[in-house]
Amino acid sequence: MTLPPLRRPRSADLTATFAGFPLPSGLELPPYRRRELFLLGYAGVLATGALAALTLAHDGTIGFQVFTYGLGFFSLWALGHLAVRRFAPAADPVLLPVVAALNGIGLVMIYRLDLAKADSARRAGNPIPTGAAQTQLVWTLLAIVVFVLVLAVVRDHRDLSRYAYTLGLAGLVFLVLPIAPGIGATINGARLWLQVGPFSFQPSEVSKIALMIFFAAYLENKRDVLSLASRSFLGMKIPRARDLGPVLVAWLASLGVLVVQKDLGSSLLFFGMFLVILYVATQRASWVAIGMCLFMLGAVVAHSLFGHVQVRVDGWLHAFDGNNPSNTSYQLVQGLYGFAAGGLTGTGIGQGSPQRVPFANTDFIMASLGEEFGLTGVMAILLLYALVAARGIRAALGAKDPFGKLLATGLSATVALQVFVQVGGVMRLIPLTGLTLPFVSYGGSSIVANAAIIALLLRISDAARRLEEPVPDAPLFDPNAVADSPTQVVKTT
């Protein structure tokens, strides 16, 4: 492979890059791979700058180490970039740098919370706990390995639909795996983890992707039946009961997760992403309406049946009432105090006290970011996520096959929905549910699974932006074409 010539991008390239038009054929390595590298450098500078600001706030000086850490971080994601160059050269150039930027912000914030823990341990004379940041760095490396593997193995996303049922089954198995005695583990009241030695892994993150592929493949096959065979009821087209089967199964499965594992966020996510993909496949809003009704019904039933749902809803509605804060909303209220302390511009990294919020580096990392980066930082981070979703959807729009469209839409919407449920919960827009913030929160399974999602989106985007292989012109007349063919007798009836 030859490197592209060193030159400034021409306006034609820019148009091609930003409008998502197919590339001019014959351009081996598109200029926007260099643009991706440039943006990645920017993400590296962002993370390094945050780290420098942190060390300056904490130690008063900036060491040379900051530079090496920054370079290490950049190199890590540069591996991902090289893989994209090699395996998906036409893919969207923005997704990977945005993800790297989010990951960098997350790593620095996790490290910052480690420092706070270490400081308070030192003051109390206790042994200093091991940092979460190193662990997260290892997970990040693993995530990049998975990212590269997905790009390398899945050379054409359409191949995935062949394994739809296998993946669907695997997804369900993974989902229920934590219930199995011996390997399943209950952490913080939810049975969501697989524990092997000191490592814990949340398999629902993997089943999220596996089930998404299954949904997309299943609906690609059944979409005609689902969209056409329906009766009218109250002006809405209601699908036949037997075609309704899958949505019911998905709904029951998601509520099953809720019941057994006490995981509100994941069940909401599973249900939401299935609804989205069903709607795109059938183009029927009635599915969404039905799904919403079922969800409402399920939510009401869950609220009346399960204590932990009541606790969440109660803590949400009455966060500041009674013995303020009520013991069910302590965490939420502390998080809100963190956001308030940040205000418009934030306290500056290392200068707030985000460690006051329980689970500051996992579920409540947005409150930590909100305190130290302020509203400005929160909005910037939300826009980065919006960018991920928007770029994913653009890949869906460009995809030439229904499966790719469904999968890309589903994956993008999943990211958007997860961020909404997560941040909305922490900011008291909706009841709090336990979900991680993709790429930012501390947690291995989350970042690995989300790296795989980005790899799939890049794969679809690559396929979408490639020019069709030029079909060789067929000769107008091939004298040999009919020369040897047998004479056909036209039959009459």
Contacting residues toward another protein, per CB under 8 A:
123, 276, 279-280, 283, 320, 324-325, 333, 336-344, 351, 353, 356, 370, 374-375, 378-379, 382-383, 385-386, 389-390, 393, 396-397, 402, 405, 409, 412-413, 416-417, 419-420, 423-424, 427-429
Closer residue to another protein in complex, CB, 312/394: 394
Report the C-alpha gap between 413 and 269 in whole angstroms.
10
Q: Cα separations (Å) of 293 from 218, 228, 248, 297, 299?
A: 23, 22, 12, 6, 10
Say if residues 158 and 462 touch (Cβ distance below 8 Å): no
CB atoms within 10 A of CB 35: 17
- Report, in Å, the least distance between residue 279 CB and another protein: 6
Residue-by-residue DSSP string for 56-105: HHHHSS--HHHHHHHHHHHHHHHHHHHHHHHH-TTS-SSHHHHHHHHHHH
Minimum CB distance to another protein smaller for 40 or for 407 = 407
3-state SS, residue 230: strand
Closest approach of Cβ 110 to another protein, in Å? 21
Residue with tokens 């695997």, as numbered in its chain: 170
Residue 231 phi/psi, 5-degree rounding, is -105, 160
State the nearest-atom distance from the C-beta of 72 to another protein, in Å: 28
Indicate the residue among 168 and 335 with the shorter CB distance to another protein.
335
Helix (H) or strand (E) holding 236: strand 236-239
Q: What's the min distance (Å) between Cβ of 172 and another protein?
A: 25
C-beta contacts of 293-298 below 8 A and 24+ residues apart: 294/247, 294/248, 294/251, 295/251, 295/271, 298/251, 298/255
Least distance in angstroms from the C-beta of 227 to another protein = 11
H helices of 125-197, in order, are 132-153, 164-176
Listed in sequence order, the residues at least 6 apart from 343 whose beta carbon sits closer than 8 Å to its beta carbon are 374, 375
Q: Which pair of tokens denotes residue 259? A: 């019941």
Query: In 3-state terms, what secondary structure has residue 231?
Result: strand
Smallest distance, another protein to C-beta of residue 416, A: 4
Q: With respect to another protein, which residue has the nearer C-beta, 299 or 427?
A: 427
Q: Which tokens hold the place of 353? A: 């006290």
Residue 305 CB-half CA count within 13 A: 11
* Cα–Cα distance, 268 to 275 (Å, whole number): 11
As given in the structure block, the two tokens for residue 192 are: 């969501």
The least CB distance from residue 240 to another protein, in Å, is 20
Name the phi and psi angles at 362, rounded to 5.
-115, -95
90 versus 341: smaller Cβ distance to another protein: 341
Structure-token pair, residue 56: 């300056």
Rounded to a whole number of angstroms, the distance between the first and last alpha carbons of the chain is 62
**Closer residue to another protein, CB minimum distance, 167 or 413:** 413
Q: Is the dihedral of CA 247, 249, 252, 258 positive or negative?
A: negative
Instruction: Give CA–CA dist 487/493, Å, rounded.
Output: 19
Of 24, 40, 91, the closest CA to residue 460 belongs to: 91
